Chains A and B, each alone.
Chain A
Amino acid sequence: EAGVTQSPTHLIKTRGQQATLRCSPISGHTSVYWYQQALGLGLQFLLWYDEGEERNRGNFPPRFSGRQFPNYSSELNVNALELEDSALYLCASSLAVGTGLDSPLHFGNGTRLTVT
């Protein structure tokens, strides 16, 4: 079974630009999560999508946004990039929440975003 795939693997942008990151979940998974992991720090929850709807978002400004498409793939957009947005952005997928709260997350290997 193909795992969670993210693209691009690396992205270099300058301050003020916009970045778009993409994620394809494991087949059959309808929930997609986005996390930010700054160098040496823990996972910070960004967004959760399920069945095309945004279910929850973390403590990030509105310039972090996203969407989930009918095929359950997802996109994270970061507008007006700031230097501190430089981090590894991880996408994870899981079975629908209704199938059980104990469904583990399956992560991709992330997009390394560097803002200069």
Chain B
Amino acid sequence: SQKIEQNSEALNIQEGKTATLTCNYTNYSPAYLQWYRQDPGRGPVFLLLIRENEKEKRKERLKVTFDTTLKQSLFHITASQPADSATYLCALVGDSNYQLIWGAGTKLIIKP
């Protein structure tokens, strides 16, 4: 069955360092992959989308890579700040009916 896996444990990073989050998937070849940020008690907020023919996408301090051979996407936050602390979710389109399949999310904690 199709599955998306993200780091299940919280990721603790020192302020100013680069945070790298991983999203692995199996049994699917998605046309694109999306990353969202979710703060406690709030809805997810869209951050970046990367297509299968794109190796890398950037937006300010954010960078996403997409390796269709490894079936993996990496999400990087450079010069991390405590305000970047949140849960980050990856999602890709499933097999049918354009449904997004979601990872469980990785909680990122940036320490001052």
Contacts and interface: CB of A to CB of B under 8 A. Distances in A.
A109 B42 contact: yes
Interface in B3-48: 31-32, 34, 36, 41-46
Contacts of B105: 42
Contact of A110 (B42, B45, B102): B42
Given A101-B32, A107-B45, A45 B89 contact: no
A11 interface: no
Contact of A48 (B93, B99, B104): B99
A77 interface: no
Given A41-B104, A55-B97, A4 B43 contact: yes
A35 to B, nearest CB: 8
Contacts of A4: 43
Contacts of B97: 48, 55-56
Interface in A76-116: 88, 90, 92, 97, 101-102, 104-110, 112
Contacts of B100: 45, 105
Interface string B84-112: 00000100010011111011110000000
Interface in A29-55: 41-43, 45, 48, 55
Contacts of B89: 42-43
B104 A109 contact: no
B43 A92 contact: yes
Contacts of B96: 56
A106 to B, nearest CB: 7
Nearest to B39: A109
A27 to B, nearest CB: 17
Contacts of A88: 41
Contact of A90 (B43, B51, B99): B43
29 contacts: A42-B89, A42-B102, A42-B103, A42-B104, A43-B102, A45-B99, A45-B100, A56-B96, A56-B97, A56-B99, A88-B41, A90-B43, A90-B44, A92-B43, A101-B32, A101-B93, A101-B98, A102-B34, A102-B51, A104-B34, A104-B49, A105-B36, A105-B46, A106-B46, A107-B44, A109-B42, A110-B42, A110-B43, A112-B41
